[in-house]
Amino acid sequence: MGLALRKDNIQNGVARKDFEAALHVIGDRARLAEQKLTLKIDEEVQLSFLNQKKAIEQATVFVRELHVK
């Protein structure tokens, strides 16, 4: 009986370890891009929320002043 050997040899012009390393790098870059995008979206949502909150507070003050007069 022959022994089953793991193939780390070059197949189709690319070594398996090199391919795995490149795939890992691509995955890391994708995660980093996703994190940056998530942070940017969170900042935009927070800024929009604060702007709307400020507008509501200003409207509330205006309405209260109308009731006083």
> How far is the C-alpha of 47 from the C-alpha of 53, rounded, in Å?
10
Residues 6+ apart with CB under 8 A from 16: 7, 8, 9
pLDDT at 52: 98
Residue 37: what pLDDT? 98
Q: Could you read off the pLDDT tens digit of each residue along the chain, which spans 69 residues?
A: 445 555 555 656 888 899 999 999 999 999 999 999 999 999 999 999 999 999 999 999 999 998 876
Determine the residue type at 8. D
Alpha helices in 5-15 (DSSP H): none
